[in-house]
Structures are given as structure tokens and as C-alpha cells.
Amino acid sequence: MTNPYYPHLFAKGKIGSVTLKNRIVRNSMGTYLGNPDGTVTDRQIKAYAEAAEGGAGLIFMDNCVPVPMTSCGLRADKDEFIAGLTLLAEAIKMHGAVPGMQIAHPGRDASFVGSEDVIGASPITYEPWYQMGARLPRALTIEEIHDLVSRFGDAALRCKKAGFEIVEIHGAAGCIPTNFLSPHDNKRTDMYGGSLENRMRLLLEIVREIHKKCGPDFPVGVKLSTEDWEPEGIRIEETIEVAKALEREGVSHLNMMGGTHATAAREFLLPNAFNAVHTRMIKEAVHIPVFIGHNIFTPEEAEAMLAEGNGDFVALGRSQLADPAWARKARCGKAGDIKPCINCMIGCIDKGMLGHTPIHCTVNPTLYKYECEPITEAAEKKRVAIVGAGPAGCEAALTASKRGHQVTLFEKRGFGGAMVEASRPDNKANIRRLIRYYEEHILADPNITLVKENADFDTLAHGGFDAVILANGGKTRRLQVPGGDSEQVLYASDYLLGNRKAEGTRAVVIGGGITGAETALELLREGKEVTIVEMADAFLASPGSASQAYGIEIAQSPIQILTGKRLIEVQPGQIRLTDRWGNESVLEADCVVVAAGYLPQNELADRLEKETNLEVFHVGDSKKVRQIYDAIHEGFAAARQI
């Protein structure tokens, strides 16, 4: 029967000889929940079961390496690993999905996963990584290439024996096949370099080897980058030819993505479904199923991708981290209950892939936290006051309600807190979905009463509450210099909200953090000449995908950056700066936009703790100014303790 909500998304589909119950694929992102030696853990088995129970038709999770390598992924280089892999495949099948395994060798990227042997087509890597200390890969010999091809075939056979019904060769994101496919990374002069025919030889030989060892009817797909976003690298025109060659070799499907591990931060700035045009070009060039992924977050977006002919299946990764039940909720017409991914890349990429920790999610504080009991009703129901309806307060309110507590949420301005300003740039519009999610669920919750006013000490201390969660956010760091209160000075929060306009043509942004970068780019789009002034020696000093993405975009723009400079005075049409040695300079400025960040607010928390017997929890920016990730996770943790 046709699904009444998303007919294309929940139609059956085939990958080779395998039938899937719907067109939703849980894309491989890795969990980093395994043991360092590549053996399977109980937590990993639970993660695979949870993913399958979420309703997707095909489940990929961790990568499986075909060679000895220490990591927190999976290994299939010896028969002794088959037993653990079998437990994973069985967990997926028991929960109604088809188990798939992605086989990957990190190639040049092995420098970042602890491998002693970093290999590639040539001794070339992504230049910014080399400047950060990455080792150059050594070029494989012909004999080593043949051995590696054989190992891919053996690994695939072990996965088949373990019960995985589809395997996928990771030929994207900087893994070993892309080191050969890329004309930048591959400078070989033998049969594996030069022409595109030679550069795709390794990938085609791997496909043939797997077919030889697993049989021609065993589905073998390939993940490809449409483009790798690297200088002189992989481009869509050549990828189309690679796709055609792979189809001739009998691959079961093509799973399309963009970029590499080195350039993944670019996704932060790209619109939803940004890879649709290139993926459709691949689909129109072949007759086998094509997976479309990347920045597809809602069932409506996924349905549209299939209906428009941009792909045959939708491969989702981060969306199913934010809400593992994404597919199940969509199937039942409950898309509004799906916790939305906001494309922040903090938990999954910054803390997971780049941070070498088990993968996390900003909006889903329960992800893979199997040591914590599920939320249940508290033995003693309490009256809980929550101050602030930003990310920490909203998460705390919903969690406390699930515990059966009666919640009073104080918020004068409106839902979202600092997320409102943060969602102003187009590339962060997905945050608006999270704001709507919180608002709709809180307003519909009978255990939560919204009070549209600020809460002071007396209200909290004498309001009959048992516990208080202070999540009232940080306060704007004010400019304390002569002329700081003049008309030409405005604050980034007011500017991003549209409360104040930046007058004139020459704009100076004070502050070189994330907010400063976003503000500068918005001003640039208005046609202004923009200069960023940062007191520290480094611009965008905090690590992470957002800093990397903004850094690249601003480096390619006419925005000027002055580091090691401090504002000391605002004068009509100009500002005065000084460096640490007292050397002063003057900069012309029609407007000054202050993006100097926020300060915590500890006064109310300190007083409540000293003068009352209330349980007091202090969370989010109100306690310490950090990221949205910290706010949501702290709000959740506080509420579950009451």
C-alpha cells in the first residue's frame, strides 16, 4: 500500500538482488564505539540495533578496514573478526533492516587515525593538513597495490560470511581510491597514474576482486565524491566517467557525496541538498540505483529529492543521529516529532571524526549513552522553575516534563535564546527548525506552563518551587571605551536580529570569533567594506568546522583582518586602535559592530544557592559561555537529576 505521507520515500526498492522496505539508507558515519583493536563491543551492537529499529531500509554504520589497523572502527583483515561482525549483522536483521558494510582504507588520511603506515598513490596530501603536521603518504608499489586489492576482496568475503547482504567500497572522502582518482594526489607514471583510465584502475580492480570472491550476484556498491573540493582535484566530469565504468563492472549502486574529510567543513556553509545537481547528473548517466545524501534533513526534503529524480535512495547520516527514529516517525506521518539536525557539525564531526571520541550529537544528548537509564517518571514529582527558553532551558523543560515534574518556564523575549541570532545567516537556517520544534512541543505539553516574564530572586525563592534550573543565557559584553555609546556603534546581536542597521559603507567588526565572522560576511553581502579587529593574535582561534569554514570563506573575500589590535576609542568616522606595545593606529569607520561575545551570569545562581534550600542547577551560557552543544547537554543532564 502506498504511504499516504511520503509515497516515494516509503516505496520498496532493490539494490542488486536485495529488496529494501523503503528508500531510506542510514549512511555510514562511524560510531567510534568499538575497541581500539577493531573488535566489536556491546555498545556497538546496541547502536546497530537502535539504528535498524529506527526504520531505515538499509543500515551502514562503521567502516571496516581490510588491513591491520588500530582504530575504534571495525576490522575484517582476519577470520577472527567474523564472529563480532556477525553479531552486528544479526542485530540489524533482528530489527527489520538490511545490513550493509562499508569497506574502507583511509589512505592518506591514516595519519589522523593512528596508523603507522600512511599510504597513497603518491607522496602528496592536502596541503593545509601537511602544514598541521600530517605525514606525507608513501607511494604504493605495484606489488603492494595488488596485495591491497586482494585484501579488499578477502574483507568483503568475511563480511558476507558474517551476514552482511550488501558491501560498499568507500571510494570517496579522501580514502585510498580517491588518492588514485585525484589528478592532484596521483602523480604516478605507471599503469595507475596519468589518464583517468589509469587513475580509476585501482577502484575497478577492487570491484572485480570482490565479485570474484563473493560471487557476481552479491551486491557491491561504491561511495564516490561528486567533487572533492580540493585544488586540481576530482571534478564532476571525471566522476561521471568513473560512474559509467563502475556500472560496466556490475556494481549494485553508487552512493554519492561531496568533498573529503579535509574539506568536510565546507558543508557548514552549503544549503540543504546542495549535492542534488551533481547527483542527478550521475543518475542520468547510469542505470543502477544512485543514493543522494548531504544536508538532507527533513522527510519533505527527502521526498522531494526522489520525486524530482535526483536520486533513487536517500542516504542520511547526521539526521539519524539527531533522531534515530527519523524513518519510523516519518512513515507514521509524525515528522513534527523528529528532533531536527541543525547542521552544526559539532558533535558528529568536530568531537567525533576529528576529535577521536565516540560520535556525539548536539541536539540528541542521549545518543549512544547506553550507560544512562531511559527517561522515566520520578518517584517524587516536583515543581520545577526553569529560567530561559534558549536551548538549555527548552531541553531541560521537556526532559523534566518526561520525568513527571510540573514545570514553569520563564521567558520574556520568546523561544530560542541566542539561537535566534545564531540562525540569522542563511547557512544556519536549520537552527530555526530546532526553535520551532522546542516551541511546538513545549506549548503542547500539559506539564509545562510558560510565563512570559523574567524571573527574579523573590519569584523563584518564594514561588513554591522545589528546584530551579537557571538557563537564562549570557549577557552581552559591552564596549567600555570612549565613544562606545555613540550612534555609529551597534552590537552584533541587534544587527543580526534586524533591530539596528549598519550605516555607511565602511564597517568595522570588533571580535574575531564565530559571531564576528558571521557578522562580517553579512555586512559584506550588503556591499560594505569590512574590517575585522581581533585583540588576540589569531582570527577564529577556536577549533571546529565552523571556524574552518568561515576562515576559508573570509580568506577568499575582500574582508580585511587585523589581529593583535585592541579598540581604545570610537570617534566620528574613525576608530583608534593599539597593539600590545602601545603603538596606536587609526582606522576609518562609518559603523562599528561589536561582536565581542558574551559573559556568564552567576549572581542569581549564587544567591539562590546561599539563601534558599532549593535544588539549583546552573546550565548553558549563563554558567559559562560555550556552544549550543554544551547548553543542550547540560539542560538535559540537570533535568534528569531532579
Residue 253 main-chain phi, psi, to 5 deg: -165, 165
The answer on pLDDT for 212 being more than 70 is yes
Averaged over 555-563, what is the pLDDT?
Answer: 97
User: What percent of the chain clears pLDDT 90, i.e. is strictly above it?
Assistant: 90
Parallel/antiparallel/unpaired status of strands 166-171 and 220-225: parallel
> For residues 553 and 560, what is the distance between their CA atoms, to the nearest angstrom?
12
What pLDDT is stored for residue 17 in this prediction? 94
Mean pLDDT score of the chain? 95
Task: Grade residue 536 by pLDDT with cuts at 50, 70 and 90.
Answer: very high
Task: Grade residue 353 by pLDDT with cuts at 50, 70 and 90.
Answer: low
The answer on pLDDT for 439 being more than 70 is yes
Cα 352–Cα 356–Cα 357 angle in degrees, nearest 5: 60
pTM: 0.95
User: What percent of the chain clears pLDDT 70, i.e. is strictly above it?
Assistant: 98
What pLDDT is stored for residue 132 in this prediction? 77
Q: Among 285, 391, 326, 290, which residue's Cα sits nearest to residue 621? A: 391
Q: What is the dihedral of CA 262, 265, 269, 271, to 10 degrees?
A: 80
What pLDDT is stored for residue 355 in this prediction? 61
Q: How far is CA 256 from the centre of its chain?
A: 17
Under 8 Å between Cβ of 461 and 614: yes
Q: Among 171, 150, 155, 159, which residue's Cα sits nearest to residue 251? A: 171
Query: CB count, 10 Å around CB of 526?
Result: 11
The answer on pLDDT for 113 being more than 70 is no
Q: Which three cell numbers stand for residue 250?
A: 556490475
What pLDDT is stored for residue 555 in this prediction? 94
Averaged over 400-404, what is the pLDDT?
Answer: 98
Q: Helix 430-443 vs helix 391-402: angle between axes, to the nearest 10 degrees?
A: 40
pLDDT per position as a tens digit, 310-351:
999 999 999 999 999 999 999 999 999 999 999 999 999 888
pLDDT per position as a tens digit, 261-311:
888 888 989 999 999 999 999 999 999 999 999 899 999 999 999 999 999
What pLDDT is stored for residue 354 in this prediction? 64
Helices (H), 31-141: 42-53, 82-94, 127-131
> For residues 44 and 80, what is the distance between their CA atoms, to the nearest angstrom?
18
pLDDT per position as a tens digit, 175-209:
999 999 999 999 999 999 999 999 999 999 999 99
Q: Which three cell numbers stand for residue 577?
A: 586602535
Enumerate long-range contacts of 121-125, CB under 8 Å, 24 or more apart: 121/179, 121/180, 121/182, 121/185, 121/186, 121/187, 121/188, 121/192, 121/193, 121/199, 121/202, 122/179, 122/185, 122/186, 122/187, 122/188, 122/193, 124/184, 124/185, 124/186, 124/187, 125/185
> For residues 247 and 63, what is the distance between their CA atoms, to the nearest angstrom?
23
Strand (E) or helix (H) holding 26: strand 24-26
Under 8 Å between Cβ of 51 and 378: no
> For residues 384 and 617, what is the distance between their CA atoms, to the nearest angstrom?
11
Under 8 Å between Cβ of 364 and 322: yes
270, burial (CB in 10 Å: exposed 0-12, middle 13-18, buried 19+): middle
All structural domains of the chain: 13-353 (3.20.20.70), 383-474+600-641 (3.40.50.720), 489-598 (3.50.50.60)
Q: Among 45, 64, 53, 46, which residue's Cα sits nearest to residue 26? A: 53
Under 8 Å between Cβ of 104 and 63: yes
The answer on pLDDT for 71 being more than 90 is no
Averaged over 544-560, what is the pLDDT?
Answer: 94
Q: Which three cell numbers stand for residue 299?
A: 522527510
Task: Grade residue 373 by pLDDT with cuts at 50, 70 and 90.
Answer: confident
Amino acid at 358: P
